[in-house]
A = this chain, B = another copy of it.
């Protein structure tokens, strides 16, 4: 019997059974207080939880709190999250504030403080406005479609909320995986993403949950680059509350494979949304590298190409300057032979076996005008492939980032 995996239209982090969320405009982003900036995600039942936290050596106070709580126990009941202030580089006071934020949220929903995780995103080096957070948490009401509000509450310079959910029918078991994410700036491989909360009502064995999250991040969030900068706040959480009533999924089983596939799809959809909404972006760039000698080479090549500021600028300007693909590939560290190298923009071959091909320049300019641009490189050296996503580099990126705090 085939398993079915289907995206839910309008699906979000509260699509799986038993998950509730809500958000408020607490005024963390500024005194205007008209933008959602504080939210809570809650599960009726305790969740087995896996987390991937930033690889940056500078870790925000919420990341340190999550790290500690996920190490001690995988049991989580809720996450409290805010935008507008990252609570990073804030010393001991920041650590105390993160713990206090968890306690306040725990009191509000009636759970133990240590079962609450915390995530913060925004400006580094500023203290959380704890009074506003306290007042804000008092005004949040949770609902089973509150995921949409939570998705908006974690936005910083994002222009749209990132949400996705799939329903999975696997034999007699039916379950859902949902998620929300925020991206925009400081997004780069070697880490999870800025913030992403994933939920499922299927029961999952904790060690498989960890593995599944790592694998899913490997083909999704870790393959997205906006600007090469990583953040001290990056937090990717996956909570499984078991309310579907199945026996916990175990690594190596057929059902675990179905779960992995479904989780990968949710993560790839969220990751592509993040790439598409990179700061100032007008286009999604998808780079696929085939024929690498091994997976590490394929990943390095795809990431390096999609991260190149020169290529990103060229795509923005619809400039068919494919030499920049080759230049970025050349510094990726992947094994390359010029004599076997093929490059395509869209489906137009511009380089074949290392030799430039005559091509219809106007046609390629048209391809580059689309909102999704694909670039394919065939190294023709081995069996490995990888796909990475990014966005074009525009004047708007510079404008956004030249006046973020002031």
Copies of this chain, how many?
A: 2
Most buried by B among A59, A124, A393: A124
Complex formed: what's the CA distance from A328 to B230 in Å? 7
Segment at the B interface, from A43-51, A134-142, A162-170, A397-405: A397-405
State which of B190, B317, B327, B406 has its C-beta within 8 Å of the C-beta of A58. Answer: B327
Which of A90, A186, A323 has the most chain B CB atoms inside 10 A of its CB? Answer: A323
B394 near A398 with CB under 8 A, answer yes
Question: Restricting to A222-247, which residues have a CB under 8 Å from any CB of B?
Answer: 227-232
If A58-B338, A89-B338, A229-B328 touch, whether A125 touches B405 (CB-CB below 8 Å) is no
Closest to A338 in B: B58
Bound state CA distance, A182 and B127, in angstroms? 45
B-chain residues with CB within 8 Å of residue A317 when the two chains form the complex: 401-403, 406
Among the stretches A103-111, A206-214, A349-357, the one at the interface with B is A349-357
A253 at interface by CB-CB < 8 Å:
no
Contact among B230, B356, B361 with A327 in the assembled complex (CB-CB below 8 Å): B230
Is A299 located at the chain interface by the 8 A CB criterion?
A: no
Interface presence of A7 (CB below 8 A) = no
- 11 A-B contact pairs sorted by A residue (CB < 8 Å): A56-B330, A57-B334, A58-B338, A88-B323, A90-B356, A91-B356, A125-B326, A229-B308, A229-B331, A232-B327, A395-B398
New A-B contacts (18) at CB < 8 Å, excluding given A123-B323, A313-B397, A319-B405: A55-B331, A57-B333, A57-B334, A58-B330, A58-B338, A88-B327, A91-B355, A124-B321, A125-B322, A228-B308, A229-B310, A230-B327, A309-B309, A313-B398, A317-B402, A319-B402, A365-B406, A395-B395
